Amino acid sequence: MINRRLLNIIFILLLLLSAKTIAAGQDGGNDSSLIKNDRNDVQKIKVLIVYQSKYGSTKQYAQWIHQEIKADLVNIENGDKPDPAGYDIIVIGGSVRIGNIVVAPFIKEHWSVMKGKKVVLFTTSATPPQHPKIQSIYEKSLPEEIRKEIKYFPLPGRISTENLTLFDQLLIAIGKIMEQDETLKKDMGKDFDGVRRENLLPLLEYLEDVKSILAGKK
């Protein structure tokens, strides 16, 4: 007959094993990744993320993309000059400033190298992504021959008025006077933060689809 002490030891061991199993399950649920794709052939696709950020919203999105997808991350605001030639996919991010997409010059300068590759552009702005003004700025910033080969994702940005330079405060004041859309005019100059990780889900799903297609061709 098994003595009482041995039964107690077995009971304690079972409790410890149960606690370890529960903890392991909880650790697995803490992964904040929006997408999952561990296929080796997909992981071999080379991705470059290039961004230009002044107040941090574009940088935040770029870093989140980098956390989700194996890629090289370059901030051209620092003067770095990445060469897109060795990459299969190029993701480019920048803000909308004074009615223009700030990374448009980079795209135009490197288009001869990027043409024929998969190019994804995302922008940040205080103007709602679905507003017609965003599409108009996109069309003004890049010619049609480039736009037709780019997948574009406008995203909500962020404004903290206390962090704005005096020049940018002046630009907003002038823009508010000139703006004809009353809804946009009412919100100009107000603090706003629309930066959310989940805003990237359509972009990330598109990237995973493209990576899978390219992996199948290699």
Amino acid (one-letter) located at 9: I
pTM of the model: 0.78
Q: Residue 161's pLDDT band (boundaries 50, 70, 90)?
A: confident
Collect all residues with Cβ–Cβ distance below 8 Å to 195 and sequence separation of at least 6: 57, 60, 61, 124, 155, 156, 157, 158
- Strand-pair partners of 120: 91, 151
Q: Where are the domains of the chain?
A: 40-217
Q: What is the pLDDT of residues 176-218, one digit of tens each?
A: 777 777 767 676 767 889 999 999 999 999 999 999 999 887 6
Specify the higher pLDDT residue, 41 or 152: 152
What CATH number was assigned to the domain covering residues 40-217? 3.40.50.360
Q: Are 211 and 42 in contact (CB under 8 A)?
A: yes
